[in-house]
């Protein structure tokens, strides 16, 4: 009887340890207090264009842009923004971008949304 109870207790303890190890931390959630996203001065030239340069223009610029979507100029970004936004937010029905890369940070996505809400000015 003691051996059976001991086995049950050890199994329960092992199960508890196993399940507690299945928690996935999200960097944005972990460091929310220490990492702030400054959206007070979002402009195309200093905020939005650098995001597209870093993540998009290598495939969506030049003479043969992927999927015929260009992100290398203000005019091209504005013309394709609804599709671009769906892709970078990795929404259902859109091809997740950047292709074979990590999703943009929550802060970068927030800055794009702020710029859109401002009317996508060329500033």
Each as own residue / partner, the long-range contacts of residues 62-65 (CB below 8 Å, 24 or more positions apart, any chain) are none
The confidence score (pLDDT) of residue 1 equals 54
pTM higher than the cut 0.95: no
The confidence score (pLDDT) of residue 10 equals 73
Nearest to 60 by CA among 78, 77, 47: 77
User: What are the residue ranges spanned by the domains of the chain?
Assistant: 27-117
Q: What is the pLDDT along the chain (123 residues), one digit of tens a residue?
A: 567 777 776 766 555 555 555 444 555 555 555 569 999 999 999 999 999 999 999 999 988 999 999 999 999 999 999 999 999 999 999 999 999 989 999 999 999 999 999 999 999
The confidence score (pLDDT) of residue 83 equals 95
Maximal C-alpha separation, the chain:
77
């Amino acid at each position: 009887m003691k051996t059976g109870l001991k086995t049950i207790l050890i199994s329960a303890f092992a199960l508890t340890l196993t399940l507690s190890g299945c928690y996935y931390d999200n960097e944005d959630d972990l460091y929310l207090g220490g990492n702030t996203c400054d959206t007070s001065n979002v402009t195309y030239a200093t905020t939005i264009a650098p995001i597209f340069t870093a993540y998009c223009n290598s495939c969506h610029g030049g003479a043969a842009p992927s999927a015929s979507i260009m992100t290398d100029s203000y005019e091209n970004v504005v013309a394709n923004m609804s599709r671009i936004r769906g892709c970078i937010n990795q929404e259902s029905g859109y091809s997740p971008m950047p292709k074979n890369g990590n999703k943009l940070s929550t802060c970068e996505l927030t800055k794009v949304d702020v710029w859109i809400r401002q009317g996508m000015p060329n500033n």
